[in-house]
Copies of this chain bind each other. A is one copy, B any other.
Amino acid sequence: MALRSRQLSATEHVRNVLDRLAADTCNAVIALDAERALAAAAERDAELARGDWRGPLHGVAVGVKDLIDVVGLPTRAGSDVLADAPPATADAPVVARLREAGALIVAKLHTHEFAYGPTGDVAATGPARNPHDPSRITGGSSSGSAAAVGAGHLPLALGTDTGASVRTPAALCGVVGLKPAFGVLPTDGSFPLSESLDHIGVLAPDVHAASVAWDVLSRADGTGGGIQAPGVNGVRVGLLTDEYWRALDPAITKAVEAAAARLQARGAQLQEVSTPMIDELAATYPVIVGAEAYATHAQWLAERPEDYQPITRERLLPFADQPARAYVDAMRTRRRLTAAFRAAVADLDVLLLPTTRLRATPIGAAEVEVGGIDVAVRPQLLALTLPFNLTGWPAASVPGEVADGGLPAGVQIVGVRLEERGVLRVAGALARD
């Protein structure tokens, strides 16, 4: 808006963003593309001066997770394995769509190594740091995207999400993250982690910005929000009752309860629902992602194991011995239990649940104490998001109300009968008045 009304030129906006990114203390930035961004900003300004407006992303600075190709820059995927990667020869289609809409690509952003982890503290360039507490993780794997948006550096960033990787860092950094339905956005030009689970997604400071980005990326005409009912009156919201879905951090539970109360106050119908198949469904995830990731990395693991971060290598190597049967069985179970899950929630429009079981944990901590018990961090940051990579349903994380005023807590909205715009509409209803 400020850009269109020329209160701020694209050039000024990009200069501000570049200055902020250059001074970033979250370790969110892998590379700046200052010269080209400024040149493009000048073009966008010239267009605007002659009345040519490309739409709401005209002149808007965007960051891209360093797992996604941006022409002219290497894609290093957070790994020394790709330290010498040549510059990408083309933009990934999602990047190209943003550029066509007038967006200015300003930076490549930090990623957990090869996107294989939900913490963001394992990468060739060191850990990303949470903008709310630099001693804590950002979540991952879209660590730099969440941190840069959460720090206020950027109004929009692209990420990828294979089990958590847009929604979990969004939750931990206090921003909005959208993972669309599987297959809706092309993943070409993005380094694969697990092709049957990989999604491209967006991170933004608020639901409105995420919606604008979604319209551009999905090539909608941008009127979807206008012609749909704007509220949530009558929307059927499922609350999952199984132990599996419970957060460990009471602040997260309270944030979800507050979100439910808010939706109900705005006319949504809350309905409790049980999904007894969730444990067995979730158990297919590590088998599937392990097999697909190992197949990608097998040759490099054999030829240059020392170029991996040790924890990444140690997580991948056991899959060398995984039999094909385990993978085929897991894919069959996944299909069968996705259908069962769908049937269990079939009459709901969305599900409302925590994004993660924990808030941002200390950098490097594999375990944390919760109520006197040591729990492994990684599973708690994956458990509530990965089911919707297995099912392929659209899901968004939005910042919840944090009663204790502490670190951000994410509230997740998953589309069952609603698609991405509907999910964002429900998310929008959660925004503070």
**A contact residues vs B (CB 8 Å cutoff):** 195, 290-292, 294-295, 298, 319-329, 332
Contact = CB atoms under 8 A, between A and B. Distances in A.
A218 to B, nearest CB: 23
A167 B281 CA distance: 37
Nearest to A297: B325
A327 B287 CA distance: 13
A292 B331 CA distance: 10
B328 A328 contact: no
Given A319-B324, A321-B323, A323-B324, 10 more contacts: A291-B324, A291-B325, A292-B328, A295-B324, A298-B325, A319-B325, A320-B323, A324-B327, A327-B327, A327-B328
A326 B292 CA distance: 10
Contacts of A291: 324-325, 327-328
A323 B322 contact: yes
Nearest to A319: B324
B325 A195 contact: no
A246 to B, nearest CB: 32
10 contacts: A195-B332, A291-B327, A292-B328, A294-B324, A295-B324, A298-B325, A319-B325, A320-B325, A322-B325, A324-B327
A107 to B, nearest CB: 31
A332 B299 CA distance: 15
A415 to B, nearest CB: 24
A116 B332 CA distance: 19
Contacts of A298: 325
A418 B119 CA distance: 49
A378 B404 CA distance: 70
Contacts of A327: 291, 324, 327-328
A90 B324 CA distance: 32
Contacts of A319: 324-325
Nearest to A328: B295
A292 B325 CA distance: 7
Contacts of A332: 195, 295
Contacts of A290: 324
Nearest to A325: B295
A151 to B, nearest CB: 38
Please name the 10 residue pairs, one residue from A and one from B, whose CB atoms are nearest each other, closest first: A295-B328, A291-B324, A324-B327, A322-B324, A295-B325, A324-B324, A295-B329, A291-B328, A292-B328, A298-B325
A110 B322 CA distance: 36
Contacts of A295: 324-325, 328-329, 332
A294 B195 contact: no
Nearest to A298: B325
Contacts of A321: 323
A326 B323 CA distance: 9
Nearest to A322: B324
Contacts of A329: 295
A179 to B, nearest CB: 22
A290 B327 CA distance: 13
A374 to B, nearest CB: 31
A329 to B, nearest CB: 5
Contacts of A195: 332
Contacts of A294: 324-325, 328
A229 to B, nearest CB: 35
A376 B336 CA distance: 38
A192 to B, nearest CB: 9
Contacts of A325: 291, 294-295, 298, 319-320, 322
Residue of A294, A327, A329 most packed against chain B (CB within 10 A): A327
A366 to B, nearest CB: 26
Nearest to A295: B328
